[in-house]
Structure 1
Amino acid sequence: MILIIDIGNTQTKIAVFKEENIQQVHFCPTHIFHERLIELKNENPNVQTVVLASVGFLQENQLEMLKQHFSVVQITSYSPMPFHNAYSTPQTLGIDRRVLAVGASLQFPNQNVLVIDAGTCITYDFVDENNNYQGGGISPGIGMRFKSLKHFTAKLPEINWEQQTANLIGTSTQESIESGVLNGVIAEIDGIIEKYQQKNPNLKVILTGGDAEYLSKQIKNVIFAHSFFLLESLYSLYKYIQSYD
C-alpha cells in the first residue's frame, strides 16, 4: 500500500493506493497533514511509502518527520516527466500543473488532451498528440470570484455558495452575484473548450478539482469528469519514475 499526497495551500488530499486502485481518500488542513499521515500509518501498518507533491514550500522539519516513518518520494520540478515541456518559462510551471500533464500524457497517449482543474484557481493544461506540453491558462476559481466581489467592493456581500445552480436573471443582489459568477465560469469553460476543439481535432477534455462534480453537470461540451485525476496522476508518475530509474 502507498500513500499519495497532494499538499495544497490550505487543504491536503491523501489517497491510499493498493495495486493501482484508490482504496480511500482523506482530506485535512495542510498545517496538520503530517499528523494525519501518522494516524493513517497506524491504521494501515503495511504502508511503507509516501509519494507527495506540494504547491507551496514543504518545511524541512515536516519532511524529516515523515522520513522517520516512511520511505518518502517527493515530486519536484526536477523529477523526470514523461512529456516534452514546451512551456517558455518551464521553471515557473507549478508542480500541480506538471502532474496533471503527466496524467494526460500517460493515461491518454498520442491524443490531444486538455485538463481543466477547477479548484482555488481554474487551470487549463494542454498536451498535444505528439506528447508536447504546450501550456494553457489560469483564472480565478468559483470561491475566489465570490470572495473578490466582497473584498473589492463596499457593499456587496460574500456568498456562502454550496454548489447550487444559478438562474440567468438574478432577482436579488445575492442571486445576481450567483448568476454572474456561476454562469460566467460555465460560459468561460465552455468557450475555452470550444476554442481548443476548433484547433485540435478529437480533443479529450478532462475536468477535475473540487468543483468538478458541480461543473460537469453544467458544461455542455463532452468531458470526462474525475475529481481525483491529480492523485491518480501522481501515482502514475511514481510508477514512471520507478521504471525510469
Structure 2
Amino acid sequence: MLLAIDVGNTRIKYAVFERNTVLEAAFFDKDALVPAVEKILKAHDGITDIVVASVGSLGRDAFGFGKKLHFVTHEDRFPFVNKYATPATLGIDRMVLAAGAVLRFPGQNRLVIDAGTAITYDFVNDRNEYLGGAIAPGIRLRYTALNNYTAKLPLLERTAPQDLIGNSTAESIHSGVVNGVVCEMDGFIDRYRERHPNFIIILTGGDADFLASRLKNTIFAHSNFLLESLNQTFQYQITNG
C-alpha cells in the first residue's frame, strides 16, 4: 500500500493506493502535516511506502514517519527524454505529470494543463520527448493581483461570471479572470494543435473541474491526475530501477 503526497504552493494533497486503486484522497494545510499523516497511517496500517513530490518549502526531513520514503528528485528515472533547455529548473510536479501522461497514454502526443496556483502547460510528444510548455498565473493569483496592484478593486472569490459583459465591477472582474483563463487555455490548445494535429489534452489541478465544462476543446479532466501520476511513476521506478 502506498501513500502519495503532493506538496503544492498552497496546500498538500494526498491519496492512498492499493496498486492502482485509490482508497482515500483529500487535502490538508501545510501546518497540519504531522497530525494529518499520522492519522492517515493509523487508518491504513498496510501502508509500507510514502512517495512525495514537493514544489513547496517542505523537504525530505519533514517526512520522517517510519515508512520507506521516496522523495522525487531530478535524478530519478522517468519514462521520457527531457529536452528542456534548463532541466534542473523544471518543477518536480511538471516532471511527474509528464511521466503520468506518458505511462497512461502511450504512443500519443500529450498536453498536460495543471490549473493550480500557477497554470502550467507541459508537452510530451509521441516519441516520449518532453519539449517544455508554459507557465501562467492561476485563477486565484489573478484575483489577488487585481486587488494588490490597484487602488480600489476588491479581492473576490472564484465565481462563474454571469455573462461575457460584466455589468458591475465584481462581474467585470469575474468575467476578466475566468473568461481570460478559458480563452488563454483554448488559445494555447489551438496553437499546439497547429503544430501537432493529433494529441490528447489532460486537464488537472485544483481548478480543473471548474474550468473543464467551459473549454471548447475536448479534454480529459482529472483533478487528481498528479497523485495518480505519482503512483504510476513510483511503480515505474521500482520496475526499472
Query: TM-score scaled to structure 2, two decimals?
Result: 0.97
Task: State yes or no: 1:132 paired with 2:106.
Answer: no
**Residues 49-97 of structure 1: per-residue CA shift (max 9 Å, x gap):** 111110024345423x22xx21111111111111000000001000000
Name the residue aligned to 2:171.
175
Q: Aligned to 2:180, which of 169, 175, 184?
A: 184
**Residues 161-212 of structure 1: per-residue CA shift (max 9 Å, x gap):** 2x42441011100001111111111100001101111110211000000110
In structure 1, how many angstroms separate the alpha carbons of the residues matched to 2:123 and 2:73? 20
Percentage identity across paired residues of the two chains: 46
In structure 1, how many angstroms separate the alpha carbons of the residues matched to 2:101 and 2:168? 42
Structure 1 segments, 4+ long, off by >6 Å, are none
The amino acid of 1:241's aligned partner reads Q
CA shift for structure 1 position 223:
0.5
Structure 1 unaligned spans of 5+: none
Structure 2 unaligned spans of 5+: none
Superposed counterparts of 1:1-245, under 5 Å: 1-59=1-59, 61-63=61-63, 65-66=64-65, 69-161=66-158, 163-245=159-241
In structure 2, how many angstroms separate the alpha carbons of the residues matched to 1:192 and 1:238? 30
In structure 2, how many angstroms separate the alpha carbons of the residues matched to 1:45 and 1:121? 35
In structure 2, how many angstroms separate the alpha carbons of the residues matched to 1:216 and 1:222? 9
Q: Is the 8 A contact 1:166 1:183 kept in 2?
A: no
Tell me: CA distance 1:60–1:214, structure 2 relative to 1, closer, same or farther (3 Å).
closer
Q: Is the 8 A contact 2:122 2:133 kept in 1?
A: yes
The amino acid of 2:82's aligned partner reads N
Q: Is the 8 A contact 2:120 2:136 kept in 1?
A: yes
How many residues matched?
241
Larger mean Cα displacement after TM superposition, 40-49 or 206-215: 40-49
Tell me: CA distance 1:58–1:116, structure 2 relative to 1, closer, same or farther (3 Å).
same
In structure 2, how many angstroms separate the alpha carbons of the residues matched to 1:223 and 1:111? 14
In structure 2, how many angstroms separate the alpha carbons of the residues matched to 1:79 and 1:102? 11
